[in-house]
Amino acid sequence: MSKEIIKIENLKREFTMGTETVHALKGISYSIKEGEFVTIMGSSGSGKSTMLNILGCLDQPTSGNYEIDSVKVKDLSRNELATIRNEKIGFIFQSYNLLARTSAIENVELPLLYNSKVSTEERRERAIKALQMVGLGERLDHTPSQLSGGQQQRVAIARSLVNNPVMILADEATGNLDTRTSYEIMSLFQELNKKGITITFVTHEPDIATFSNRTIVLKDGHIIQDYKNTNIHSAAAELAKLPKEDH
Amino acid sequence: MRLLNLLKIAFKAIVLNKTRTLLTMLGIIIGVASVIAMLAIGEGSKESIRTTISSMGSNMITVRPGADDRGPARGSGGNVQTLTLKDYQKIKEETSLLSYMTPVVNGGGQVINGSNNWPSTIYGVNPEYLDIKVVGLQSGSMFTDAEVSSASKVALIGQTVVENVFPDGEDPVGKMIRFNNIPFKVIGVLEEKGENTFGQDQDDVVIAPYTTVQKRILAIDYLNQIMASAISEDDAPEAVTQVTNILRSQHQLLDSEDDDFTVRSMEELISTFSSTSEMLTILLVAVAGISLLIGGIGIMNIMYVSVKERTKEIGLRMAVGAKGADILMQFLIEAILISITGGLLGVILGLSATVFIENFLNWPTSVALYSIVISFAVCAITGIFFGWYPARKASALDPITALRYE
């Protein structure tokens, strides 16, 4: 049996809005094993974003237990959380969040800048390797404005890979892309997953879920569905089915 | 995170916003440049006053009758008759710190040579006067002690007097002139000295034995002044005290009584004028300092804009593992880099301005090293001080809010 990367037990998150208390997550338990490709689905207000923030160690649960790679996250300080994010999680955002007017390679190097254990040479080496993995080995010095949306998201994926995280956490990573490009990105995710990288993908698009091997559906702060996907679609195959673009 | 990485990040942010950074720096540049230029002008004029006064005889000591009330309503010491030849002789007998000494009586009058006349001042002195005032002779010779004793009607005249009463260029030596209708034989012409620091023409003088001037011209038996030279500049302050003590006992003043005379050295004069110019320097520097402050506020302003503008970037940096301290340092270093670069450019501009002022406006300047060091240090401190608050604000951002910021 493979290792548990994420272990969540009876997790609750409450927000106080004036005199009212909003229960965003009302006692959630699940775990994610190494090598899984999980989509977390839910409509807006389901607690999806709150789940994502806690998974990404950007936020702390009100109660319950959250362990990532056997580290108990609860009660960690701001700085300790930053270190966890730096060493264990790779973030991918809907709007890419690349640094403007900064080359692809420097963007990818960014997480390693905040890790004093990595030397300048090693940083560059690992950034090049990560960019090669996402198929941008030839565009190291391009700035975001010189890259298409799909390429920018590839740079962001390379950035999430560069610190060898235990899990990649994607937030609507295809939300800003057209169908063709999102299939390309999903096929990249599937490739990475085949290499053993654990992926958690937060989305509200049901067809994205068909590319993953497990889906968790949230509603009103509860898990209403958690199922293994028996019929995993191949994004590469879907891509081939799309009508050819003429250019 | 290593400092070098932070430096790189900050440097990049600055390079990416060249125009904005330069405009921000402008305040600092102007501030530093003006501090340096103003101090250079201040120091320069102070030095020039010092050299001018020194050229008049830096170890000169003057004794005037009347108390020293340096207030604005100062009475004319010349009318007080408390300084006499006896005082002069007493000082001469008892002093050990004076090398030259002369009684001085002076009065205004008309210098007449034939149809030419000119209003001037006659100074009655003894031969040591030339050594005290450090003035040489262009032609002729100084009168002798014998001529002083006999109250001879001989005189030396300055260049201005020569030009006005001997307009045809003839040699005045040996000629007769009249001062207030008393005939004098011109026995010498003084070297040209030009105007002194106070704008007084030092060549508009007639010099004669003090005995002659006392008896024939002014009809007085007291002195207007005693002039002396201390043996050296260093002895001047002590000589002042010595002369004061001699005169107090000579005048039989009680301890409770104030001096009825005033002894001054050039050194004091220098410090009086220096303090005036120092005051001016302080004012100039204060104005320059204010512009430096405004420059600092400019930095704070732009750092705020920068933090606001890059909220999302800060969120991202935090998401990928930047700690609060990393963000704080990043923005602080950026602010310091701006202010130090501005300071450096300011130093260069200030030095160029000084060179310009010296060469094209012909104002004396003197760049003090401390002005460069101080303004540069102030710059760095300005950067830290005004960069701290925006940087602090950036580091305290919540990563979730920052990431969602549009």
B289/chain A closest Cα distance in angstroms: 37
Per the domain annotation, does B59 fall within a domain?
Answer: no
pLDDT at B382 > cutoff 80: yes
Please tell me if residue A76 touches chain B, with a CB cutoff of 8 Å: no
pLDDT at site B69: 53
Pair B226, B314 in one domain: no
Per the domain annotation, does A9 fall within a domain?
Answer: yes
Mean pLDDT for B232-242 is 84
Q: Which of B12, B323, B400 sits opposite A79 (nearest CB)?
A: B323
Pair B164, B283 in one domain: no
Domain limit, last residue, from B235, B259, B283? B259
Per the domain annotation, does A202 fall within a domain?
Answer: yes
pLDDT at A1 > cutoff 70: no
Per the domain annotation, does A189 fall within a domain?
Answer: yes
Pair B382, B284 in one domain: yes
Where is average pLDDT lowest: A5-9, B192-196, B398-402? B192-196
Please tell me if residue B287 touches chain A, with a CB cutoff of 8 Å: no
Report angle CA B256, B260, B266 to the nearest 5 degrees: 115
Q: Which of B1, B12, B313 sits opposite A114 (nearest CB)?
A: B1
pLDDT at site B286: 84
Q: ipTM of the assembly? A: 0.93
B180 sits in the region (left: phi over 0; alpha: psi -120 to 50; else beta) called: left
Pair B101, B208 in one domain: yes
**A171 half-sphere exposure, CB direction, 13 A CA radius:** 22
Q: Are A213 and A232 in contact (CB under 8 A)?
A: yes
Please tell me if residue A111 touches chain B, with a CB cutoff of 8 Å: yes
The 8-class DSSP code of residue A100 comes to T
CA proximity to A116, closest of A153, A154, A83 = A83
The 8-class DSSP code of residue B201 comes to B
Nearest CA in chain A to B406: A95
Pair B161, B233 in one domain: yes
Mean pLDDT for A164-168 is 94
Decide which of A220 and B259 is more confident: A220
Residue A175 has phi, psi (to 5 degrees) of -60, -30
Determine, for residues A86 and B316 on separate chains, whether the beta-carbon distance falls below 8 Å. no
Pair B252, B364 in one domain: no
Collapse the DSSP code of A232 into the 3-class scheme (helix H, G, I; strand E, B; otherwise coil) and give the result. coil
pLDDT, tens digit, 9 for 90 and up, residues A238-247 = 888 888 765 5
Per the domain annotation, does A65 fall within a domain?
Answer: yes
pLDDT at site B314: 93
pLDDT at site B294: 85
A243/chain B closest Cα distance in angstroms: 35
Structural domains in chain A (count):
1
Pair B255, B380 in one domain: no
Where is average pLDDT lowest: A29-38, A126-135, B196-205? B196-205
Residue A72 has phi, psi (to 5 degrees) of -75, 120
Nearest CA in chain B to A78: B323
Mean pLDDT for A202-214 is 91
Please tell me if residue B127 touches chain A, with a CB cutoff of 8 Å: no
The pLDDT confidence band at residue A215, using thresholds 50, 70 and 90, is very high
Distance CA B365, CA B44 (A): 4
Q: Which of A97, A101, A116 sits opposite B316 (nearest CB)?
A: A97
Overall pTM surpassing 0.80 (yes/no) = no
pLDDT at site B3: 79
Mean pLDDT for A66-87 is 92
pLDDT, tens digit, 9 for 90 and up, residues B366-380 = 888 888 888 888 888
pLDDT at site B71: 45
pLDDT at site B51: 76
Question: What is the CATH number for A16?
Answer: 3.40.50.300
Residue A81 has which token pair? 């959380």
A246/chain B closest Cα distance in angstroms: 35
Decide which of B266 and B88 is more confident: B88
pLDDT, tens digit, 9 for 90 and up, residues B294-335 = 888 888 888 888 889 889 999 999 999 999 999 999 999 999
Pair B282, B236 in one domain: no
B403/chain A closest Cα distance in angstroms: 9
Per the domain annotation, does A64 fall within a domain?
Answer: yes
Q: Which of B320, B399, B403 sits opposite A110 (nearest CB)?
A: B320
Q: Which of A53, A79, A114 sits opposite B320 (nearest CB)?
A: A114
pLDDT, tens digit, 9 for 90 and up, residues B110-141 = 999 888 889 999 999 999 998 888 888 899 99
pLDDT at site B80: 66
Domain that holds residue B44: 3-51+272-404
Pair B16, B154 in one domain: no
Per the domain annotation, does B391 fall within a domain?
Answer: yes
Look over chain A and give the mean of its residue pLDDT values, rounded to a whole number. Answer: 91
Where is average pLDDT lowest: A208-212, B206-210, B252-256, B396-400? B252-256
Mean pLDDT for B39-64 is 79
Mutant choice from A51, A53, A85 vs B, greatest count of B C-beta within 10 A: A85
Which chain B residues have a beta carbon less than 8 Å from that of A114? 1, 317, 320-323, 326
pLDDT at B211 > cutoff 90: yes
The pLDDT confidence band at residue B70, using thresholds 50, 70 and 90, is very low
Which chain B residues have a beta carbon less than 8 Å from that of A159? 320
Distance CA B84, CA B282 (A): 43
Pair B133, B249 in one domain: yes
- CB contacts < 8 A (A, B): 61
Mean pLDDT for A117-124 is 91
Nearest CA in chain A to B322: A114
Please tell me if residue A214 touches chain B, with a CB cutoff of 8 Å: no
Q: Which of B5, B320, B403 sits opposite A111 (nearest CB)?
A: B320
Pair B249, B279 in one domain: no
Please tell me if residue A115 touches chain B, with a CB cutoff of 8 Å: yes
Nearest CA in chain B to A117: B1
Distance CA B121, CA A80 (A): 90
In terms of Cβ atoms closer than 10 Å to its own Cβ (0-12, 13-18, 19+), residue B181 is exposed
pLDDT at B207 > cutoff 60: yes
**B281 half-sphere exposure, CB direction, 13 A CA radius:** 22
Domain limit, last residue, from B236, B259, B282? B259
H or E element that contains B116: strand B116-125
Per the domain annotation, does A246 fall within a domain?
Answer: no
Domain limit, last residue, from B225, B259, B293? B259
Domain that holds residue A191: 4-95+156-241
H or E element that contains B185: strand B182-190
Per the domain annotation, does A25 fall within a domain?
Answer: yes
Q: Are A207 and A29 in contact (CB under 8 A)?
A: no
Please tell me if residue B9 touches chain A, with a CB cutoff of 8 Å: yes
DSSP characters for A177-219? S-HHHHHHHHHHHHHHHHTT--EEEEES-HHHHTTSSEEEEEE
pLDDT at site B168: 85
Structural domains in chain B (count):
2
B315/chain A closest Cα distance in angstroms: 9
Pair B288, B254 in one domain: no
The pLDDT confidence band at residue B68, using thresholds 50, 70 and 90, is low
Chain Cα centroid distance, residue B9: 48
